[in-house]
Amino acid sequence: MNSILLELKPFLDTLILSFSAVLNLEFTIISANPTRRIAGTGIYKKALNQKDWNNTYTDYVIKTKKNLTVLRPEKIYPKIIDGCTGSYYSIILEPIMLEDLVYGVLVIASFDEKQQNFLINNKEKLINYLKHISSLITAKIIETELKNKITIYNKNLEEILNYLNEGILLFEKDKIITNSIANSILYINEMDIYNDLIKKIKFEVENCLKIKKDINTKIIKYYNNLSFVLFLELKYLDENKVLVLLNTLDKIQEQNFSNSEFDNSLKAIVTQDPEMLNLKKNIQAISNNDSNILIQGETGTGKELFARAIHFSSYRKNNPFISINCASIPETLLESELFGYESGAFTGASKSGKVGKIVLANNGTLFLDEIGDMPLYLQAKLLRVLNDSYVEPIGSEKSIKVNIRIISATNKNLSEMIKNNEFRSDLYFRLNVIPINIPPLKNRKKDIQLLINYFIDKYNKKFEKNVTGIDLNTLDILSNYSWPGNVRELENTIEYVMNFKEKGIIKSEDLPNKHFNINFIELQNPKMELDTYNKSLTFKDNVKLYEKTIIEQEIQKYPSPLSRDNLLKICHKLNISPATLYRKIK
């Protein structure tokens, strides 16, 4: 209570000085619990440090919770004194109360004959006057306590939000409350980018308020030739309030020892290809060593699958496997994600700071996916970690010792990047102690049927289907497809089929159209005439060329690329399967 009146001291000083000047009487305000003079005019101003309040008029009013008027102190209350004496001393006291609780006492007094005559002659008016002033101060107390509660609520809310591991924005009328993660996501180096993102989010918030329903949507912003994608989950709370949950396109992997959603063993690498089997054998040999590994391969070949298999085959398997994609996080955020930061290191930084991925991976493995997209200035910082085994968070003067194994991966030609000064050669040699090159799926034809069966089994369980296999013609089509997206594309193809197929065998008509959209560039070249026999070729080769020419002439009757429907028409006319057609035109 005392602290509330102390908070109001500037307001109370102005208040009593104004009233004292108008009425030509002396005012003072004393707080209760503990009893202390907060403000005063005249003689009271000189007694702000009064310590003994026992048996005073103030003490009486605080205990009785009643107002008190004393016109002749020496005659009426001889045992009750106020520390101030004088022949013309008269006093009126009014408790400052809120819900039966005394916060303090408001006092008006006279110290000369003129003041005393005025006080006595206007006693009733002054008593009412003091009641009004007391009510005014009570209202100010209520306002201040409410503001303090709101401040504490907002502070607690901010602390809670900062502990959550996703970006959160609370829109309430014209006010926005954000946590540190939301700030780090939205503040991309340039304020106009931040303002543009906030503007787009506000548009979605207004839409949410309008329809009074939750909304899931996304915002795509192109920045420095990168597509910056935000997923928004808007929660309608009331007519003036919307909670926004914010996430980036690539979720930052948190420390997760169990990794239950993954099969992290070597068994997860499904293959019968000799080169791949040799890689699996090598993993068993190198997994328990701490040498850094560089995995290279096309997109979708399963580089992270290999990285996980190495980690979970090693003695580090019970410690963290921390993955970070260097291409999916904007440059302005990548440094803080990797190295972490101290409290107040930069605008929008969490008050509690942030532990970086390198430290989170301590005693475990750090997987740097798409290492070729790491900026040069961060490559230098990473090189120091590799050389010294110390990491220095942003804004910190203290280094943290770490014990990590680094596995990197890329689909880029790092040697070529080094020639173009796009990648540091010293970092390359530190990362590339043990190189692993994963062959593309087009070079592993034997694996296609094995992988198809693996994915059919996977999605039978996931979708509760009963698909039993794939027919030979369809298998032949998939085996002859180039698979630019590698294993990931093959899995997506089977997942697509399994969404529409309930049971039975997968056939060619179940496949996505892209596997039939063939652009026969070779048809632009001169072809064999049907009545021409090439004496330089064997009879068997002449037959093959003859068949190919017939098929290509049929294909030329339809627009390119050839659609599935047109392909099936040709097959029906020639009485051959799509797979046979593929073989004969190769």
Highest mean pLDDT among 48-52, 88-92, 467-471: 467-471
Evaluate whether 311 touches 364 at the Cβ level (below 8 Å). yes
Percent of the chain with pLDDT over 70: 83
In this predicted structure, what is the pLDDT of residue 525? 41
- DSSP 3-state assignment of 135? helix
Return the percentage of the chain with pLDDT > 90, whole number. Answer: 33
Structure tokens at 458: 């996977």
Q: Sorting pLDDT into bands at 50, 70 and 90, what band is 264?
A: low
Could you tell me the pTM of the whole model?
0.50
With tokens 């930084």, the residue in question is: 349
Task: Choose between 222 and 109: higher pLDDT.
Answer: 109
Q: Give, to the nearest 10 degrees, the angle between helix 123-163 and helix 113-121.
A: 90
Domains along the chain with CATH numbers: 2-146 (3.30.450.40), 164-248 (3.30.450.20), 266-434 (3.40.50.300), 440-513 (1.10.8.60), 516-586 (no CATH)
Q: What is the pLDDT of residues 158-196, one digit of tens each?
A: 666 665 667 888 888 777 877 777 877 776 545 566 777
> Taking a C-beta distance cutoff of 8 angstroms, is the pair 63, 54 a contact?
no
Structure confidence at residue 408 (pLDDT)? 97
Per-residue pLDDT at 529 exceeds 80: no
What is the pairing mode between strands 36-40 and 26-31? Answer: antiparallel
CB 364 within 8 A of CB 320: yes
CB distance 47 to 57 below 8 Å? no
In terms of residues, how long is the chain? 586
Name every residue whose Cβ is closer than 8 Å to that of residue 427 and which is 6 or more positions away in sequence: 379, 382, 383, 386
Closest-CA residue to 208 (of 251, 178, 172) = 172
Residue 91 has pLDDT above 60, yes or no: yes
Q: Which residues contact 198 (CB under 8 A, 6 or more apart)?
A: 176, 186
pLDDT at residue 226 greater than cutoff 50? no
182 exposure class (CB count in 10 Å sphere: 0-12, 13-18, 19+): buried
- Closest by alpha carbon to 245, among 166, 298, 177, 186? 166
pLDDT score of 190: 55
- Taking the CA atoms of residue 564, residue 570, residue 573 and residue 576 in that order, the dihedral angle to the nearest 10 degrees is -80
CB 200 within 8 A of CB 219: yes
pLDDT of residue 427: 95
Q: Cβ distance 574 to 551 under 8 Å?
A: yes
CA gap 197, 219 in Å, rounded:
8
CA 42/CA 45 separation, integer angstroms: 6
Q: What is the pLDDT of residues 286-328, one digit of tens each?
A: 999 999 999 999 999 999 999 999 999 999 988 889 999 999 8
Q: How far apart are CA 175 and CA 439, in angstroms?
A: 54
Q: 368: closest CA among 397, 339, 400?
A: 339
Tally of CA atoms within 13 A in the half-sphere of 74 that contains its CB: 6
Element (H, E) at 222: strand 215-223
Mean pLDDT check: name the lowest of 405-414, 435-444, 457-466, 529-538: 529-538
Yes or no: say if 111 and 89 are a contact pair by the CB < 8 Å rule: yes
> pLDDT digit string (tens) for 127-148?
999 999 999 999 998 998 888 8
Q: What are phi and psi of 385, to 5 degrees?
A: -60, -40
Do 162 and 352 contact (CB within 8 A), yes or no? yes
C-alpha separations of 224 from 45, 185, 331, 332 in Å: 66, 15, 10, 11
What is the rounded CA–CA span in Å between residue 468 and residue 453?
Answer: 9
